[in-house]
Amino acid sequence: MYTDRPAVAHPSTPRSAPGAGRPSAPPYSPAPPRVPLDPGGPAVPCPPAAGPPRPAAVPVAGLRPALAPLVAALAHRHGLDAEDLEQSVWLRACERAAAGRLPADTRSWLRSLALRECRRLTRTADRERLAAERAERPAPAPSAEAELLAERGRQALWASVGALPGRCPGLLAALADAPGLTYGDLAGLLGIPRGSIGPTRSRCLSCLRTLLHGLRT
């Protein structure tokens, strides 16, 4: 026999929210782009760029219109090429800007830089002009005393050549008069075997040096 019992209410367990108890995900950051090594190969992530990002533009570039008249005037006054001077100024300015060492008053600093570069290029141009003038300048004519000493030296030289033994005077005279003669030409001219011309020439020059050394001492 069944009896009606009152329904017993069981305490309900509260349901946790979705995702409760799980560690929170890190903030989203985009992955580096992936570039394939070859058309059929796997993609690998590109390494991050090294060093701080470079500025998009050099801050001194906006001052060019204000500085251009000064550069043109300096170049005209000192006889320089205006483009060379301007290029030199902006090269120095960009080097300082890239290093982050531009002064606060950039406009005044650029004017001073233009003056310094103008002086530097002027000195360089002067040195090059003087070097070119020296290269084109004819050698001074020898004095009468120098010509007399040179003539005496030539006379002493040929007197010593004439005092050499054997075929030495004729061989050395032929070499001095016609330096372009070959050993074959000398052999036919002097009647000397071609193979003995080189050794004979060496012996003759050695004897000549001995005679000239004796004259100096």
Domain boundaries, the chain: 61-136, 153-216
Q: Which SS3 state, helix, strand or coil, does residue 174 take?
A: helix
Give every CB contact of residue 183 below 8 A, 6+ residues apart in sequence.
194, 197, 198
Q: If 0-12 CB within 10 Å is exposed, 13-18 middle and 19+ buried, where does residue 146 land?
A: exposed
Please give the torsion angle defined by the CA atoms of residues 55, 60, 62 and 66, in that order, rounded to the nearest 10 degrees.
180
**Is residue 174 very low, low, confident or very high in pLDDT (cuts 50, 70, 90)?**
very high
**Is residue 164 very low, low, confident or very high in pLDDT (cuts 50, 70, 90)?**
very high
**Residue 206 pLDDT > 60:** yes
The CA distance from 161 to 28, in Å, is 100
**Residue 11 pLDDT > 60:** no
pLDDT > 70 in the chain, percent:
71
**Is residue 102 very low, low, confident or very high in pLDDT (cuts 50, 70, 90)?**
confident
Task: Specify the higher pLDDT residue, 48 or 126.
Answer: 126
Report pTM. 0.39
Give residue 29's pLDDT.
Answer: 54
**23: Cα separation from own chain's centroid:** 61
Cα angle 92-94-98, degrees, rounded to a multiple of 5: 120
In this structure, are residues 125 and 79 in contact, taking their beta carbons and an 8 Å threshold? yes
